[in-house]
Amino acid sequence: MDKSKSYYIIGNWKMNPDNRKEALKIFEGIKKSSQRRRSKVVVCPPFVYLSDISSGRLPKSLSLGAQDCFWKESGSFTGEISPTQLADLRVEYVIVGHSERRAMGEEDEVISKKINALLSADLKPIICIGESRRDKDGEYLQFLESQLSFAFDEVTPVHLDKVIVAYEPVWAIGKTEEEAITGHSLHETVILIKRFLARKYGKERGFSVPVLYGGSVSPRNAEEILKEGNAEGLLIGRESLDPKSFSEIIDLADSI
């Protein structure tokens, strides 16, 4: 990778840990190892910990993210959190369309609304796409294109520099490293995503959107995924709750 470029290393804590004390402990560990990094490190804790975590000083290479949001600015929407409320807590990035939310019934139309609301609030959506399984006939490729079409439906070229795509094949999430994608196979999918974006926005603009990978990333496979897979970063679940492993992954990314 070109030395002037940096990788995104993003931790998605999902619904973990169980309590505030543990959350602050993990965050302090990550904060310590995120000083003066070439990679852009982003931590996405559950909403309830954001306020505490966002109160201290953050190293320049570390940013805060959230795991979801609602698409309205304010109003009678019990239980929802708006992009404006997140921005007020120094959140910069927001995961949208994670497969675990899609599995709970979140549909492409809703995901598209969330992306537009985030961009209007000057936040950066991390748009998750990914097939449940791969078939020999390559139907999963059409599925990915369809998820991309909905997600980017109303994204204008001026907003493109704020958008990140995270390719997270559902079959590779929460598994062992052996079951994660191979570098070769990932590279093909990264090309497909970049081609879609180039068709929609032109080569230069389309290719500039970072494409990340998520699904059973660990210090053991991170290098292959970044180097051979040509991913521009990683969206990490379980291993982002262990500051030591997470820091090892940042080390690897910084050394490429």
Q: Of 10-69, which residues contact ligand 13P (CB under 6 A)?
A: 12
> Is residue 219 a contact point for ligand 13P (CB under 6 A)?
no
Q: Tell me whether the omega of the peptide bond preceding residue 219 falls within 30 degrees of 0, making it cis.
A: no
Interface map 98-117 toward ligand 13P (x if CB under 6 A): x-------------------
Say whether residue 215 binds ligand 13P (CB under 6 A): yes
Cβ-proximal residue to ligand 13P, closest one: 237
Among 23, 111, 209, 235, binds ligand 13P (CB under 6 A): 235
Q: Is 173 in the site for ligand 13P (CB under 6 A)?
A: yes
Q: Minimum distance between the CB of residue 18 and ligand 13P, rounded to whole angstroms? A: 17
- Asked if 97 interacts with ligand 13P (CB under 6 A), we say no
Selected from 138, 157, 174, 202, the binder of ligand 13P by CB under 6 A is 174
**Of the residues 45, 65, 237, 243, which one makes contact with ligand 13P according to CB under 6 A:** 237
CB atoms within 10 A of CB 251: 15
Q: Is 168 a catalytic residue?
A: yes
145 is catalytic: no
Contact stretch for ligand 13P (CB under 6 A) within 35-43, 116-124, 136-144, 212-220: 212-220
DSSP state at residue 159? G
User: In this complex, which beta carbon is closest to ligand 13P, that of residue 83 or of residue 215?
Assistant: 215
Contacts of 119 (CB under 8 A, 6+ apart): 125, 155, 159, 162, 163
Q: Between 174 and 202, name the residue whose CB sits nearer to ligand 13P.
A: 174
Kindly name the residue from 100, 131, 159, 168 that is annotated as catalytic. 168
List residues binding ligand 13P (CB under 6 A). 12, 98, 168, 173-174, 214-217, 235-238
Q: Active-site residues: which are they?
A: 98, 168
